[in-house]
């Protein structure tokens, strides 16, 4: 349905639609394209928001913000409601976006589990978009670090993992004895350094409900004695939820948390989470001090010297649908991202405050970063196909190592996005509808299935029966059973989009256990648009893990990088 009243600000939003299926919406939803929750506003502004100075979340992360391509215009297609996102709405939105002539589709939506291409409305819609020259940028999912959790794995889409940025947020806790501990949350409340009574949750059991101290120490909802904790800061031994301390009237809370601290959440009261060692020190302080006190400082920011690395929640490969296509494709910033927020929503659940900007994390945040980069590349090369744009982003990505991500390419794909370099990749791995039909035929799908996703009378024959290893993809993957030797042959074709006359030399990185041969080892071009084909033969001795290598085509100016990954299928 069309939105009949669209506020156009400097022609930024040029259209908006919404798609409502019976039962999708709840009482908090707007039956219009308006964002009631904040997620859509955040992702949209990340991809193409304008330049705004002095943006912050209540003073946190203050500075100038802008979207990936601030000059781009935005068409909004609202497909999700408080109860979820329907397949009907997704497919209808794809149809309208294609008919409206959009250039890039950004879809920070995914299922909790990966679906086969013919059961996945996003994959089906993205195929139809690809046919019309439109790249779909997808989030990889937030199911990490579980192996095989990556979703949105269709080879005609761009699948984006989430990585950290060069800043991190810290929330410090100060005790009455002067000791200060560094926690991991986004605390928007300022206690001005004032010290407050500090109580251990285990010393405040809700005896009225028969709660013992061994449960109240975890601060479960209903476990705390409101009379004892009201107006105080409560220490809880295990991170459960903020609801228990909030409903008991606590002024603030400090939780001992064994989970990952590479991303932060906001809470509706002063809040910090500490590691186990610091938690033990605080318990000792509480047990040995007659009148313990504490304060929680407002969040400050610090340098993240280890960035970028893929955050723990980002879904990992191997690709659970087609094992020998590497997914995710690449990674982009998706941790603690400040962007616009709907003032129809609140800062976080349980809060009452409204804000124009918020800091949240997810592959939903990394996806629009990649979308903005794709739009940026397309602005330089408006005739490039979706595959060419994806290739440019992948082959120019900044290489990453397994030092910070033991899953290697199954976490970060080709590496960390590098938009400026992507406008001049030198060579691209191009592909179109017939290439994907050959791939699908080679995977053994029925003609009925293929016609469902292609929307035409495509059929399989000897001419259209291709192997997964021959799909013209910018990365190379092969899998087999543990302890087995395996050899695969990959046929690839690259198109010259760099210097008219150029010679590219193959540079191979093959660690022990991996043999990589490239024929020919030199590709010579005489004009822009010329194509050259080559064959990569990869042999691997597989244990129970993964072996990572690479192929780089180097002309002295461009380095066209492709990961080569061999792994044991036990990883799935």
Is residue 73 predicted with pLDDT exceeding 80?
yes
Same domain, 74 and 121: yes
- Taking the C-alpha atoms of residue 34 and residue 5, their distance in angstroms, rounded to an integer, is 10
pLDDT in tens, 194-205: 999 999 999 999
Where does a domain end: 416, 440, 458?
416
Is the pLDDT at 3 greater than 60, yes or no?
A: no
- Residue 32: CB atoms within 10 A of its CB come to 17
Tokens of 407: 């899953």
Beta bridge partners of 77: 17
Q: Is the pLDDT of residue 6 over 60?
A: no
Q: Torsions phi, psi of 437, nearest 5?
A: -65, -45
How many Å apart are CA 151 and CA 367, to the nearest integer?
13
Q: Which two tokens stand for residue 285?
A: 């302080």
Identify the CA nearest to 552 among candidates 396, 440, 430.
396
- State phi, psi for 228 to the nearest 5 degrees: -80, -30
Q: Which of 176, 194, 213 is nearest to 290 (CA)?
A: 176
Q: What does the alpha-carbon distance between residue 343 and residue 347 come to, in Å, rounded to a whole number? A: 9
Let me know whether 10 and 158 are in one domain: yes
Residue 444 burial (C-beta neighbours within 10 Å; 0-12, 13-18, 19+) = exposed
For residue 197 the two structure tokens come to: 């009574």
Q: In the block, which residue shows the tokens 């299935």?
A: 449
| Closest to 131 (Cα-Cα) out of 424, 420, 437 | 437
Q: Which two tokens stand for residue 216?
A: 């109240």
Q: What is the pLDDT of residue 277?
A: 93
Q: Please tell me the predicted confidence (pLDDT) of residue 464.
A: 66
Please, which pLDDT band fits residue 10 given cuts at 50, 70 and 90?
Answer: low
pLDDT per position as a tens digit, 508-566: 999 999 999 999 999 999 999 999 999 999 999 887 789 999 999 999 999 999 999 99
Residues 77, 145 within the same domain: yes
Count CB neighbours of 406 within 10 A. 11
* Phi, psi dihedral angles at 278 (to 5 degrees): -65, -35
Same domain, 294 and 326: no
CATH, residue 153: 3.40.50.200
Place of tokens 């994390």: 361
Cα 195 vs. chain centroid, distance in angstroms?
39
Q: What is the mean pLDDT of residues 240-253?
A: 92
User: How many CB atoms are closer than 10 A to CB 514?
Assistant: 20
- β partners of residue 565: 477, 548
Say if residue 419's pLDDT is above 50. Answer: yes
Of residues 481 and 104, which shows the higher confidence score?
104
CA–CA separation, 158 vs 152, rounded Å?
A: 8
Domain boundary among 275, 303, 331: 303
SS (HEC) of 511-533: CCCEEEEEECCEEEECCCCCEEE
CATH number of the domain enclosing 194:
3.50.30.30
Same domain, 150 and 172: no
257, part of any domain? yes
271 vs 83, residue with greater confidence: 271
Which residue range forms the structural domain that includes residue 289? 167-303
pLDDT at 5 over 60: no
Of 108-122, 147-161, 424-438, 455-469, minimum mean pLDDT range: 455-469
pLDDT of residue 2: 37
Which pLDDT belongs to residue 569? 77
**Which of these, 543, 532, 534, lies nearest to 485 by C-alpha position?**
543
3-state helix, strand, coil in the chain (%, to 5): 25, 30, 50
User: Would you say residue 198 lies in a domain?
Assistant: yes
Give the integer Cα–Cα distance in Å for 555 and 568.
Answer: 34
Of 381, 416, 451, the residue at which a domain comes to its end is 416
The pLDDT of residue 29 is: 85
Q: How far apart are CA 426 and CA 388, in angstroms?
A: 11
Specify the pLDDT at position 12.
Answer: 87
254-287, pLDDT tens digit by residue?
Answer: 999 888 889 999 999 999 999 999 999 999 999 9
Helix H or strand E encompassing 565? strand 559-568
Confidence of residue 306 (pLDDT cuts 50, 70, 90): confident
Position 410 in a domain: yes
How far, in Å, CA of 15 to CA of 21, rounded?
Answer: 21
What's the pLDDT band for 479 if we cut at 50, 70, 90?
very high
What span, in angstroms and rounded, lies between the C-alpha atoms of 223 and 248? Answer: 9
Instruction: Report how many domains make up the chain.
Output: 2
Structural domain includes residue 220:
yes
Mark whether 95 and 175 lie in a shared domain: no
DSSP output for 430-488: ---HHHHHHHHHHTT--HHHHHHHHSS-----STT---GGGS--SSEEEEE-TT-EEEE
pLDDT computed for residue 458 by the predictor: 65
Do 290 and 351 lie in one domain? The reply is: no
- Identify the residue with better confidence: 444 or 386: 386
397 domain-assigned: yes
**Are residues 1 and 122 located together in one domain of the fold?**
yes
The answer to whether residues 362 and 377 belong to one domain is yes
pLDDT at 572: 56
Per-residue pLDDT, averaged over 17-44, amounts to 89
Q: What is the mean pLDDT of residues 480-498?
A: 92
Residue among 368, 354, 466, 486 nearest 417 (CA): 368
Note whether residue 556 is domain-resident: no
363 and 334 Cβ atoms separated by less than 8 Å: yes
Residues 359 and 401 in one domain: yes
Q: Quick one: which of 263, 222, 228, 225 has its CA closest to 240?
A: 222
Regarding whether 346 and 229 lie in a shared domain, the answer is no
Asked whether residue 130 is assigned to any structural domain, the reply reads: yes
Clarify whether residues 39 and 65 are in a common domain: yes
pLDDT tens profile 162-188: 999 999 999 999 999 999 999 999 999
Percent of the chain with pLDDT over 70: 96
| pLDDT above 70 for 354 | yes
Task: Grade residue 1 by pLDDT with cuts at 50, 70 and 90.
Answer: very low
Looking at residue 338, what is its pLDDT?
96
What pLDDT band is residue 4 in, cutting at 50, 70 and 90? Answer: very low
Task: Give the mean pLDDT of 128-141.
Answer: 96
Is residue 386 one of the residues assigned to a domain? Answer: yes
- Strand pairing category for 476-480 and 357-360: unpaired
Q: What are phi and psi of 364, to 5 degrees?
A: -60, -30
Q: What is the DSSP letter of 152?
A: -
- Average model confidence (pLDDT) for the chain? 92
């Amino acid at each position: 349905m069309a939105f009949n009243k669209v506020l156009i600000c400097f022609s930024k939003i040029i259209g908006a639609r919404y798609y409502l299926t019976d039962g999708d919406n709840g009482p908090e939803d707007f039956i219009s394209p308006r964002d009631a929750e904040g997620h859509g506003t955040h992702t949209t502004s990340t991809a193409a928001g304008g330049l705004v100075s002095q943006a912050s979340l209540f003073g946190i992360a203050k500075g100038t913000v802008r979207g990936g391509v601030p000059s781009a215009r935005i068409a909004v297609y609202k497909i999700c409601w408080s109860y979820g996102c329907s397949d009907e709405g997704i497919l209808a939105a794809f149809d309208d976006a294609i008919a409206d002539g959009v250039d890039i589709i950004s879809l920070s939506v995914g299922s909790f589990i990966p679906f086969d291409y013919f059961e996945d409305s996003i994959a089906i819609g993205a195929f139809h978009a690809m046919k019309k020259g439109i790249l779909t940028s997808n989030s990889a999912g937030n199911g990490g670090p579980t192996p095989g959790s990556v979703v949105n794995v269709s080879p005609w889409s761009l699948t984006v993992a989430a990585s950290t940025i060069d800043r991190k947020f810290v929330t410090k806790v100060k005790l009455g004895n002067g000791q200060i501990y560094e926690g991991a949350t986004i605390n928007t409340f300022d206690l001005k350094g004032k010290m407050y009574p500090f109580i251990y949750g285990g010393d405040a059991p809700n005896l009225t409900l028969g709660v013992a101290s061994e449960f109240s120490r975890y601060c479960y909802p209903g476990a705390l004695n409101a009379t004892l904790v009201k107006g105080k800061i409560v220490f809880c031994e295990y991170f459960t939820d903020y609801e228990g301390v909030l409903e008991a009237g606590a002024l603030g809370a400090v939780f001992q948390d064994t989970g990952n601290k590479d991303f932060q959440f906001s809470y509706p009261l002063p809040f910090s989470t500490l590691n186990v060692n610091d938690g033990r020190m605080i318990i000792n302080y509480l047990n040995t001090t007659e009148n313990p006190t504490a304060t929680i400082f407002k969040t400050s920011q610090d340098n993240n010297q280890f960035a970028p690395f893929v955050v723990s929640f980002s879904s990992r490969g191997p690709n659970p649908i087609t094992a020998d296509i590497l997914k995710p494709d690449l990674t982009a910033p998706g941790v603690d991202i400040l962007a616009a927020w709907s003032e129809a929503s609140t800062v976080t659940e349980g809060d009452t405050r409204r804000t124009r900007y918020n800091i949240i994390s997810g592959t939903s945040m990394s996806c629009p970063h990649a979308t903005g980069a794709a739009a940026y590349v397309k602005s330089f090369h408006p005739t490039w196909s979706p595959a060419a744009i994806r290739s440019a982003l992948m082959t120019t990505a900044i290489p990453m190592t397994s030092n910070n991500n033991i899953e290697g390419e199954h976490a970060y794909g080709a590496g960390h996005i590098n938009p400026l370099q992507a406008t001049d990749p030198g060579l691209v791995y191009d592909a179109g509808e017939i290439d994907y039909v050959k791939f699908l035929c080679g995977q053994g799908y029925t003609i009925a299935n293929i016609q469902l996703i292609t929307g035409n009378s495509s059929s399989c024959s000897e001419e259209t029966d291709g192997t997964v290893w021959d799909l013209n993809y910018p990365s190379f993957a092969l899998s087999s059973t543990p302890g087995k030797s395996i050899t695969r042959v990959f046929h690839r074709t690259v198109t010259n989009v760099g210097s008219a006359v150029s010679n590219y030399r193959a540079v191979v990185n093959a660690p022990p256990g991996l043999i990589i041969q490239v024929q020919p080892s030199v590709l010579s071009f005489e004009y822009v648009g010329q194509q050259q084909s080559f064959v990569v033969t990869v042999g691997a001795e597989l244990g129970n893990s993964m072996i990572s290598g690479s192929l780089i085509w180097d002309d002295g100016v461009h380095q066209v990088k492709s990961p080569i990954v061999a792994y044991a299928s036990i990883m799935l």
